[in-house]
Chain A
Amino acid sequence: MTTAVLSRPAAAAPSPVTRATGETRWVRWILISVALGFLALVLVLPLVLVFVQAFAKGLPTYWEAIAESDALSAAKLTLLVAAIAVPANLIFGIAAAWCIAKFEFPGRHLLITLIDLPFAVSPVISGMIFVLLFGSQGWFGPWLAEHDIKIIFAVPGIVLATTFVTAPFVARELIPLMQEQGSEEEEAAIVLGAGGWQTFFRVTLPNIKWGLLYGLILCNARAMGEFGAVSVVSGHIRGETNTLPLHVEILYNEYAFAASFAVASLLTFLALITLALKTLVEWQQRRAMSNRAEPISPTERIAA
């Protein structure tokens, strides 16, 4: 018995182990097919449908739909909104992660919970609160009317609602990452005479760059794709306060299906790019992590 075990070639040794904790071939095959079948039905089919419907009436119709002036102004507005909301939340995210991850202070956990709040709020409510603040019957409504400033049913409202909805993305990505990394490297830099900003740009930023990029990608995707919150504050004025997702809705409700799906295909393309970038960044992050795991402690770095 013992000799039989010992004489077994080393390469074959793991096979009884995997057999004891793995499923038989056909169970495995069924599980994989059911899972993949489900995903194909739920995820892939809608994706394919968007592109098939978009090109259903031929390339000229497709081109016409996305080159039309209302579509172009919707695309411009979407880019503008993202160009304001994303950098604002980037600065917020870095500031929040810096104070929460590098310092201990009372109320730290409360702050983390508050940062997460926008994720728990329905998009519709996220839009509504800005109507309650700046709408004609809102807190600042009369004052804004007096000074002839429009926020609701105008671009500023769309920017505000989008900023609210996307506020947590960067912070949420950076806080756990920076907590895990600790502050030894920054402390070493400061002790060695580096300034605060120098430390941030030379030590912290290279360490968090992948996490930061990850948060930015997700934040941008949501900022460009947000529908519910923007729908409440936009007023749906064609060519003025329509973002791309709202333009998709208007065309769809006008039964201009091919045009609607054509514009939707742009957003779908954006989603696919987001997924690809996200996967790439995850891969880089894992590589960076395994590089960091090599034992070069800050003290060794100073000694070197």
Chain B
Amino acid sequence: MTMRTDAAPLLHIADLTVELPGAGARRPVLDGVDLRVHRGEVVGLVGESGSGKSTTAKAVLAMLPDDAEIAGTVAVGGADVLGMDARTLRELRANRVSMVHQDPRSSLNPVRRIGDYLTERMVHTMGRRPADARAHALELLTAVGITRPEQRMRQFPHELSGGMVQRVVIAAALAGDPELLLADEATSALDVTTQAEILAILREHQAARGLGMLFITHDLHLAAAYCDRVYVMYAGRVVEERSAERLFRDPRHPYTAGLLACTPELGDARALRPIPGRPPSLDDAFAGCPFVARCPSAETECETWRPFPREIGGGVDDDGVVACRLADVRDRPGPDPVDQVVRIEKVGS
């Protein structure tokens, strides 16, 4: 696949483990996470609440709590983020990596005007002259599809709709001319038609500027429709990494298959097949596979055998990684292959 070339990835997270002893957690928030985003690539990061999606994004900006115990590396353009001094980090956050959050209103100061929000970072962090900053802000607002930008610059966040505030936040995220965009549930709070508009704007700028984008969402269908490649996280670990199309058509990890079988899909009236139990909290520790308690095809060994992400050896052109003992057993030539155990089909209605 073209995206997985030998060129150094724009974002390279390697074996990242994050523990939060202060929070009283019994397992790491992130546990050996490997993740790559190349230039010009949209990479999805999918999982339920508590799976570590947002923590991964925060690690990219080195915004983890002070008492976090961190092992592993996070590199943006080859530079190690976790070892950066305050000044370099500030430069990274201002100019190289931008983040768009779920709730755009909480990103903006409610008593400052839209224009102030856009220009003050350009003036103070990027050292532009106020007049230049203002001109650039107007350009950015126009670029994200906001009409009458002069008027919007004078308005306050509460005077704009949710979709429009999210556009303003995206304009601000593009102000520093970043290489990497982190979108953390950036469209989850929006109506479906507004969501499509924001996604179209993000895609347009991502493609035009060749940005790498890490697109975090709880919505597997959205990730499959919007991203080039998708990582699925569970209990702080990456359990599967595939091209979006293959993930959707032929999930290899039982959790991914379970997520697909329990996510309602328009035009598919077959009964939903819920995954029993609930997503693990930080109080749940695991000796083996974290999904074992909810997995329909788990075996006794899965409780103690820790699966590590491993290349899928199936087809010639198949790519990707899955962390499942059963997939391991199936792919390995041997006398007693466990056949088809990890494939869960939706139950017919």
Do A and B bind?
no
B interface, CB within 8 angstroms of A: none
